Amino acid sequence: MIEKSWWENAVFYELYVDKFSGNFQELSKKIDYFQKLGINCLHILPPFPSPMVDDGYDISDYLNIREDLGTLEDFKKFIEDAHKNGIKIMIDLVLNHVSEKHPWFINARSSKNSTYRNYFIWSDTGEELKDATNVFFHLKPNNWIKNEQTNDFYFTTFYAEQPDLNWDEPKILKEVTNAMDYWIELGIDAFRLDAAPHLVKKEGSNSVSLPETHIILKKLRFHLEIKNRKNIALLAEVNDTPEKTLEYFGQGDECHLVYHFPLTSKILLAAKNDTPHIIDELRISMTNVPKGCQWVTFLRNHDALIMPSLTLDEKKGMLEYGDPTSAYHFRINHGMSVRLATFFEKNPEKIKDAYRMLFSMPGSPVIYYGEEIGMKNDTTIDEQKDTRRYVRGVFNWTEATNQTNNTDSLFSFISNELKAKNRKI
């Protein structure tokens, strides 16, 4: 019998350290909680230094930890504690952009002669790449942002404060692989590759999932192979059709793991309409992955629910059901930022239906922090610009304690379902 890699049997738990426990020292004290739930890999959302314009995805230093979360030694000790208890650690590797406060960009924007100038994408007119996707079109009119210091424009796919890296510059690959090596030496087991399809920009295209992007991912994978780091996993964040998403495995030479976004919206639609059979077609297609690779499945995460795989009518019905007052709409009706307990507020039992379907499917599942205890959207904030913050509230430890001691709770249900799934593997 061929032994599987650890990620093929992984159960992930995704969290913000500050929202979940405050800092890494306190997170070390919560390891028994993860074990009770049935988790064997933690996805730590970006813990790096950051101005926090995009809740940590605007990184100002790839090689350090935010002061409010503790020190590098705290982080290293936490990793050691997790490993002692059979729990792997995954962190984000944000490849598409950095913060405008990153030293590379501060230097690059100061002069056209900067040695870091080619780390980013520039234009004298802001007229190029007109077909490129502007992900946050509700926040900025186009992808080009004026740089007053050199009287020109820099390119951004997301927030204006997140200048895109120029992957046509070979030094970027070297910087990224150096960062990977650094964190691997500290004990990291996996990297989530944020916004993977957006890395390469090309005139006359939407600059999404270009062939050159796959070449970059193959180079990152090859870097791990030549360093004999075959126990380190790469997870691609790709929100596209199943066919397009499948390409990010390559021939088993790109990413070990890829999110299955289409499954998420299909399961929620099935739970809403009591039509579990609609996921059967996806079940069959999900077995077609290269050897040693695995889908990563989930119901909710830190981002909005976009639902590109649904028809317009299905999407409209989901928005009306899960966000009837449009309080949590994201990008002008393109999606909604809702936790499961908010989406299924009128019928909480459907949360269990959704999880039953999730755990019945192939793939390694993710539990987003707070979903296991039925946390709802954080309504204490008033966020008009980026509604995703409604699903990023502070973890409710009082409720968690109550539920871990209650055999009839949602926590206990999910824990039991996870144990049953693991027994079948």
Angle between helices 349-360 and 410-424 (to 10 degrees): 10
Cα–Cα–Cα angle for 424, 291, 301, rounded to 5 degrees? 65
Angle between helices 72-84 and 170-186 (to 10 degrees): 60
Q: Of the candidates 293, 235, 292, which has an alpha carbon nearest to the alpha carbon of residue 261? A: 235
pLDDT band at 424 (very low <50, low <70, confident <90, very high): low
pLDDT band at 421 (very low <50, low <70, confident <90, very high): confident
Enzyme catalytic residues? 194, 237
Q: In what order do the strands lie in the sheet with 144-147?
A: 122-123, 152-155, 144-147
> Would residue 279 be called left, alpha or beta, if left means φ above 0 and alpha means ψ between -120 and 50 degrees?
alpha
pLDDT of residue 170: 97
pLDDT of residue 86: 97
Percent of the chain exceeding pLDDT 70 equals 98
Say if residue 147 is exposed, middle or buried (CB neighbours under 10 Å; 0-12, 13-18, 19+): buried
Whether 120 has a pLDDT exceeding 70, the answer reads: yes
Whether 332 has a pLDDT exceeding 80, the answer reads: no
- Fold annotation for 6-95+172-424: TIM Barrel (3.20.20)
Mean pLDDT, residues 15-21 taken together: 98
DSSP 226-259: HTT-TT-EEEE---S-HHHHHGGGTTTTS-SEEE
CA–CA gap between residue 262 and residue 138 (Å, rounded): 23
Query: What backbone torsions phi and psi does residue 91 show, to the nearest 5 degrees?
Result: -125, 165
CA–CA gap between residue 109 and residue 103 (Å, rounded): 10
More confident residue, 47 or 385: 47
Whether 308 has a pLDDT exceeding 90, the answer reads: no
More confident residue, 2 or 292: 292
In three-state secondary structure terms, 95 is coil
Mean pLDDT, residues 80-104 taken together: 98
Whether 7 has a pLDDT exceeding 80, the answer reads: yes
Least confident of 54-58, 329-333, 338-342, 371-375: 329-333
In three-state secondary structure terms, 270 is helix
CA–CA gap between residue 320 and residue 342 (Å, rounded): 13
pLDDT of residue 285: 86
Q: Of the candidates 308, 309, 329, 333, which has an alpha carbon nearest to the alpha carbon of residue 388? A: 329
Whether 291 has a pLDDT exceeding 90, the answer reads: yes
Mean pLDDT, residues 96-108 taken together: 98
Whether 315 has a pLDDT exceeding 90, the answer reads: yes
Query: What backbone torsions phi and psi does residue 143 show, to the nearest 5 degrees?
Result: -85, -10
Average pLDDT, the chain: 96
pLDDT band at 146 (very low <50, low <70, confident <90, very high): very high
Query: Structure tokens of 328?
Result: 């949590």
Q: Of the candidates 287, 176, 309, 170, which has an alpha carbon nearest to the alpha carbon of residue 234? A: 176
> Does an H or E element contain 335, and which?
strand 335-336
Q: What is the pLDDT of residues 361-390, one digit of tens each?
A: 999 999 999 999 999 999 998 777 899 999
C-beta separation of 300 from 259 below 8 A: no
Q: What is the CATH architecture assignment of 96-166?
A: Alpha-Beta Complex (3.90)
CA–CA gap between residue 46 and residue 179 (Å, rounded): 14
CA–CA gap between residue 274 and residue 262 (Å, rounded): 18
Query: Structure tokens of 157?
Result: 């796919």
Whether 212 has a pLDDT exceeding 60, the answer reads: yes
Domain locations in the chain as residue ranges: 6-95+172-424, 96-166
pLDDT band at 425 (very low <50, low <70, confident <90, very high): low
- 3-class DSSP string for 116-148: CHHHECEECCCCCCCCCCCCCCCCCCCCEEEEC
pLDDT of residue 216: 98
Q: What is the dihedral of CA 327, 206, 279, 358, to 10 degrees?
A: -60
pLDDT of residue 2: 63
Q: Of the candidates 403, 346, 345, 337, which has an alpha carbon nearest to the alpha carbon of residue 370? A: 403
Whether 284 has a pLDDT exceeding 90, the answer reads: no
Whether 195 has a pLDDT exceeding 70, the answer reads: yes
